[in-house]
Amino acid sequence: MTKTLVEMMNKAIGLELQVSIQYMWQHVRIYGFNHLAIAEELKKIAIEEMKHAESIAERIDYLGGIPTTNPAKITLGDTPDQMITNDMLAEEETIAFYKTIISKAAELKDYVTRELFEHILADEEDHHNVFRTLLET
């Protein structure tokens, strides 16, 4: 397996760790009666993101690489609108990057990695949609 793909996958772990920490902390810090449902959604998505990091780490390990433990830069926000805007932007970055990983894996005929990231990409698009919808209401 190419070093480049493993490096890309480690960056993906960093992004997943970033948002799992970011969303969980926001879940704890978001206040107000109207924000109870948002808090629960943030918690649910944070757990999904941690599972993504685990799946990617297992794939890297299988390919002979060493999974990173370093999250990308965490951006919390001070208000619910700032939090959700930061979260939506993080999902957009991740979606674009995962499409690049999928293309690279297909080019290398690494069908398992491609399929893994296609599955995760679908989840990320769902997360993006949740955040976009929250900002519209």
Domain boundaries, the chain: 3-136
Does residue 119 have a pLDDT over 70? yes
Structure confidence by residue, pLDDT tens digits, 9-41: 999 999 999 999 999 999 999 987 778 889 999
Does residue 137 have a pLDDT over 70? no
**Contact of 87 with 22, CB cutoff 8 Å:** yes
3-136 folds as Ferritin (1.20.1260)
Average pLDDT over residues 81-106: 97
Does residue 112 have a pLDDT over 80? yes
Average pLDDT over residues 53-73: 97
